[in-house]
Every structure is written in structure tokens, then in C-alpha cells.
């Protein structure tokens, strides 16, 4: 293992990062999306540094197949845009570049500064960027050219120890961004990792902060959970950490009431959905699994008067509140459930038409007409 050193203000050498060579980790260049590799090669050719970063490296180290590959670089968004005609700058709070390959999108971000405030786009060095990331398992940088992992915060060791460790101080991390509480529980559930004791305590203490979060960000996080293949265990852990009451309050209420064993039925449905290898893009399927038991219970409670589609749709929107999934996805999900739950009408038998009898009558010779 190599070590990268830096200097303090006094000029003394200080250890900055541990570098794992390709003999010391299982990731190979062929594991990386070739389009992501091509972006890095072009950035490097233009004189920039660039790395695969975050969840893709984490997933490859634990033996999972990444669903996307993000890139971090020292190039500014305008510089990236000039290099890639198939790209677009997005975001206001912090600008990113999306590079398009057909329907696939690869996100390229500039190293962030530790001193960025509010809406300002302040860029920094890789040493600052790593300290802006939430957990050590998401703060690894991989160079597909040299096939090395650069680890500034002990993330490789934490992955081997199966622990979700925050990088930002506990007093600051969840106040700064409450959605990180959901992400911490998600990583713990999805990977089978543990959360340190004081991290768990802080989550339970600061859970109400989640109610103040952007509904669109929470909705995005829900779809990531539904597409992870670990939705059942993640939602169960969010419930046990008392986060679900601020994330999906109606689901939390149903689980607490547990009418007609709702909890067992709901988690059985979610486990079955997880086994179906869900994809992040199939949002309506995820919503079907989430809503199915609740809407079926509502329909059953009506007994003689089954609910109409519009009634189920309104109930589904209320159940998902305060989250705001696209109306189209909710519409498709409710329609699938509606078709399964509405009573089947008996099909009318068609009466067969009587066959023509002319063919059965004997032919009679025509008589001559008298003159």
C-alpha cells in the first residue's frame, strides 16, 4: 500500500491518503462503465484529474454491480461542457454536468470547497471534496487508468469492518442535511453494515429534522430505496429508528396500528418485490408494492360498494404524502392495483347464429312456362 503525503502550514509532512494498488483490491478497469472511462480519459488528456467516486466503488468492493458511475474532477463545469458536446450543466446550489450517452446519464461534479456557503458555487481540491462527503464508504476515489483506490478517510477499512461511519462531526452532519439520516439507515440495511452507537442515538434525537426537508429530495430517496433490492429491510429499519413517521407518516401509522396484521402482509409484499430484481427506472412497480396492501384493505372495508379508480388514486396520494412522486407514476401504479381488485363481471355468452338451411333443401327442376 502506498501513502500520499501533504504538508502542514509549518511545512511538516503529514499523511493525507492511503493508496491501494490493483494488487490490493478486487476492482478492475473492465468493471467500470466504458463511457465513464472515456470521460475520464478525455479529462486527463485535457490536463485535468478525474476519478470514479462514491457508491460505485463501494458497491464493487462489496461484490455488488453498480447502477451508475459518478465522476469527480478538478475541471469546472464550463470546462467540462466544452469538452463534451453531449452534456448539460444542471443545478443552482451546486452546478453539476450530466453527460448523455443515449438514455444513460453520467454525472460529473467538480471538487467542492469546504467553505462553500448557500447558493455559491465554490470549488476546491480533492482533499476538501472528500471531507464534504457524508460517510467514509462513499468517499473513495478510483482511477481506472492506474487502477488505484485513493482513500483519505479510512473508507476501505470501514467497508471491511462493515460499519457506516460519518465523516462530518455528529453535531453537524444531520443538522446540515437531515436526509443523511435516511441514507445512513439505507446503507446499513442494504449492505448489512452496523451503525455506531452514537450515530444511532443522534438519528433518534434529530429525527424530527426530517420533516423540514424538501419533499422532492425525500421522494428521490424513496425511489432509490425501492430500486435497491433491499426495500423491505430498509423500510423496516426506518420504522424502528422512528424516521418513517417523518418520511411516510401514513405508512408509519398503519404499521403501528397493525390492523389485520398489516405489518406482516406489507413486509411480505415488499420482500416479494425485492426478489423480483427491481430497477430504479421502474418507479410504478415500486409504488405498486408500496401501496398494494393499503389500497386492498380500503377496498375490502367498503364491502358491497367497491371503490372507484379515482377514490383509490386520491387515497394513494394521501398515503404517500408529504412525498410528491409524479402523478403519472401514481396513476399507473393505482391502475394496476385497481385492475386486480375490482370484481370480475361474468362474461355473456354469445348466441350462435342459426346456420342457413338452404343447402339442406333438395333442388326442384323448373317447369316450362306455357306460351
Cite the active site residues: 68, 70, 134
- CA gap 228, 191 in Å, rounded: 10
Beta strands in 224-323 (DSSP E): none
Integer angstrom CA distances of residue 129 from 22, 79, 223, 325: 23, 18, 26, 31
- CA gap 341, 286 in Å, rounded: 18
Integer angstrom CA distances of residue 72 from 124, 211, 333: 11, 31, 36
- CA gap 345, 213 in Å, rounded: 46
- CA gap 213, 195 in Å, rounded: 22
What b-and-e string marks burial along 259-292, b requiring 16 or more CB atoms within 10 Å of the CB? eeebbebbbebbeebbeeebeeebbbbbbbbbbb
Q: Which residue has the cell 460519518?
A: 166
Query: Half-sphere exposure of residue 318, counting CA atoms within 13 Å on the CB side?
Result: 11
158, 165 contact by CB (below 8 A): yes
Round to the nearest angstrom and report the end-to-end CA distance of the chain.
124
Nearest to 280 by CA among 107, 128, 68, 6: 68
Helix-then-strand count for the chain, H and E = 16, 9
Residues 6+ apart with CB under 8 A from 172: none
- CA gap 114, 117 in Å, rounded: 9
Cell readout for 346 is: 361474468
Amino acid at each position: 500500500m502506498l501513502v500520499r503525503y501533504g504538508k502542514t502550514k509549518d511545512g511538516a509532512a503529514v499523511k493525507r491518503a492511503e493508496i491501494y494498488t490493483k494488487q490490493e483490491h478486487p476492482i478492475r478497469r473492465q468493471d467500470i462503465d466504458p463511457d465513464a472511462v472515456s470521460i475520464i480519459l478525455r479529462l486527463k488528456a485535457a490536463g485535468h484529474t478525474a476519478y470514479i467516486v462514491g457508491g460505485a466503488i463501494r458497491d464493487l468492493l462489496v461484490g455488488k454491480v453498480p447502477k451508475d458511475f459518478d465522476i469527480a474532477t478538478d475541471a469546472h463545469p464550463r470546462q467540462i461542457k466544452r469538452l463534451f458536446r453531449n452534456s448539460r450543466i444542471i443545478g443552482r446550489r451546486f452546478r453539476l454536468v450530466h453527460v448523455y450517452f443515449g438514455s444513460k446519464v453520467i454525472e460529473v461534479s467538480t471538487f467542492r470547497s469546504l467553505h462553500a456557503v448557500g447558493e455559491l458555487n465554490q470549488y476546491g481540491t480533492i482533499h476538501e471534496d472528500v471531507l464534504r462527503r457524508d460517510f467514509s464508504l462513499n468517499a473513495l476515489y478510483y482511477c481506472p487508468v492506474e487502477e488505484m483506490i485513493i482513500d483519505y478517510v479510512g473508507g476501505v477499512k470501514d467497508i471491511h469492518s462493515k460499519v457506516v461511519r460519518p465523516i462530518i462531526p455528529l453535531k453537524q452532519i444531520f443538522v446540515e442535511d437531515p436526509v443523511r439520516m435516511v441514507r445512513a439507515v439505507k446503507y446499513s440495511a442494504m449492505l448489512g453494515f452496523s451503525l455506531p452507537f452514537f450515530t444511532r442515538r443522534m438519528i433518534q434525537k434529530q429525527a424530527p429534522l426530517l420533516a423540514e426537508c424538501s419533499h422532492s429530495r425525500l421522494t428521490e430517496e424513496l425511489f432509490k430505496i425501492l430500486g435497491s433490492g433491499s426495500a423491505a429491510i430498509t423500510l423496516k429499519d426506518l420504522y424502528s429508528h422512528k424516521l418513517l413517521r417523518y418520511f411516510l407518516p401514513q405508512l408509519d401509522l398503519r404499521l403501528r396500528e397493525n390492523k389485520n396484521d398489516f405489518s406482516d402482509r406489507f413486509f411480505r409484499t415488499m420482500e416479494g418485490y425485492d426478489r423480483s430484481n427491481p430497477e430504479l427506472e421502474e418507479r410504478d412497480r415500486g409504488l405498486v408494492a408500496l401501496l398494494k396492501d393499503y389500497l386492498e384493505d380500503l377496498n375490502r372495508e367498503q364491502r358491497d360498494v367497491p371503490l372507484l379508480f379515482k377514490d383509490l388514486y386520491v387515497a394513494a396520494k394521501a398515503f404517500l404524502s408529504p412525498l410528491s412522486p409524479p402523478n403519472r407514476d401514481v396513476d399507473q401504479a393505482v391502475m394496476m392495483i385497481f385492475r386486480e381488485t375490482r370484481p370480475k363481471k361474468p362474461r355473456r355468452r354469445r348466441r350462435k347464429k342459426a346456420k342457413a338451411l338452404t343447402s339442406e333443401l333438395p333442388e326442384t327442376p323448373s317447369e316450362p312456362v306455357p306460351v
